[in-house]
Structure 1
């Protein structure tokens, strides 16, 4: 009997995605609220729970937006706020799944040997161009420290 069949009925049943330890994959969680059962049981309590989660996520996302131009881990904080929202809202869970999928794809592309060789070559060419431009500038104008410039 194969692993996908149900021994009691003999038919093949739906198989939940299972990840082996250490293979880097995670089983997809169900969409929806992760609030405790007693909170979901009361409509008023669940609505107030959702408002609290939304406000907390909004504060974290707002702090991340402020950190984008200022020093700090802006994008990391924004994704943290999205993770807070994802504990309660399906739209945030879908956004995080999409983002996780795109980041994984980008990481796999970046580790591709052909892409790495191309990136190293482009970086080397860019550094040579910058070195030539700095050399031309120094040859033409010399090195003068900013505090020694005559006005």
Structure 2
């Protein structure tokens, strides 16, 4: 199966790169899709879930056509791995502080977009301090 997939990918690259217009359209499409996935990943980083995975996926999409994205992907992965190794070596207090900081970022973001006030409304809680200062 992998052999067939690699053969198909080689043929696709040859067919697309043979036609300059098609190649330009393909590169633009890869750029747009990769940038959208990357942006979604960056937004998702502080939230529980696969934020960094989405970032690396977006960079991987971009790296399929752009050398700068390939270099950035290698750099970002090395820094991510170094950060995770550093966190693992720290004591529970530092690890807890990092988690609390992440939780604070999530809560502030949810407050700014009005999600906390929305959820409070579901439970008939009228707390004006939960209202977003951005949304008024």
TM-score by length of 1: 0.44
Relative to its length, the structure with more helix (as a share) is 2
Structure with higher Rg: it is 1
